[in-house]
Homo-oligomer: A and B are copies of this chain.
Amino acid sequence: MNSKEKILTAAIILFAQKGYSGLSMRQLALSVDLSVAAIYHHFPDKNALYLEAVRFSFSDKEQVFDQVWNSDCSAKEKLHGFIRSLIDVMLNDQNFHRLMQREILEANPERMQLLAKGVFHSQFCLLMQLMAELAPKQDAHLFATSAIGLAKYYIEYQPLLKNLPGWKLEHEIPEFMASHITSLLLNSF
């Protein structure tokens, strides 16, 4: 792995943990055992480095879902598979997930457009198609977002929900949550 990739890999982790203004170039340099000046050789400034780190972190997520779409399961099973994959991706790559959370919090219009077109578009279309197949008379966009929203919520809010009454151990088991979300959607069609 060359220096540029090493810097980007570390930047993803540290930006996800500390946020943009929370991470200094000095800290980043220290963590990759380079000088600050060496980082500035590879990136024009801090903002460009951040944007490239976000893109880098998003670059390998597409293919995870392809095996769901390419399987010969039923539509219902595909919905379950997609939701399960979504949960797994977010749990397995917490840095990606936290970077996403920070981007959403920022809600910069141009960056939202970039994310939508460049990262989520094709997967979202496939999900909408699946929803249209399962419930032709419903608003596919609405139900696609409901699926994603529920999956994201259970992961992001787990640290809070654990402290509220009624919480059960099974609420943090991916397969259990995927099944709950899937049946919630299927029953409402």
Contact B153 A149 (CB under 8 A): yes
Q: Which of A38-46, A57-65, A179-187 contacts B (4 or more CB under 8 A)?
A: A179-187
Contact A163 B113 (CB under 8 A): yes
Contact with A164, one of B98, B107, B121, B163 (Cβ below 8 angstroms):
B121
Q: How far is the CB of A150 from chain B (nearest CB, A)?
A: 6
| Chain A contact residues, majority secondary structure | helix
Contact B153 A167 (CB under 8 A): no
Interface residues of A in 134-162 (CB under 8 A from B): 139-142, 144-146, 148-150, 152-154, 156-157, 159-162
Chain B residues with CB under 8 Å of A160's CB are 104, 112, 115-116, 120
Bits for A84-123, please: 1 = Cβ < 8 Å to B, else 0.
Answer: 0000000000000010011011010100110111001100
Chain B residues with CB under 8 Å of A161's CB are 141, 145
Chain B residues with CB under 8 Å of A185's CB are 184, 188
Asked if A73 CB lies within 8 Å of chain B CBs, one says no
Closest to A119 in B: B160
Contact A146 B150 (CB under 8 A): yes
Count of A interface residues, CB-CB < 8 Å: 55
Inter-chain CA distance A160–B106, complex, in Å, is 11
Contact with A154, one of B105, B120, B145, B187 (Cβ below 8 angstroms):
B145
Contact with A121, one of B121, B139, B165 (Cβ below 8 angstroms):
B165
Could you list which residues of chain A lie within 8 angstroms of chain B, going by C-beta atoms? 18-22, 98, 101-102, 104-105, 107, 109, 112-113, 115-117, 120-121, 124-125, 128, 139-142, 144-146, 148-150, 152-154, 156-157, 159-168, 171, 180, 183-185, 187-189
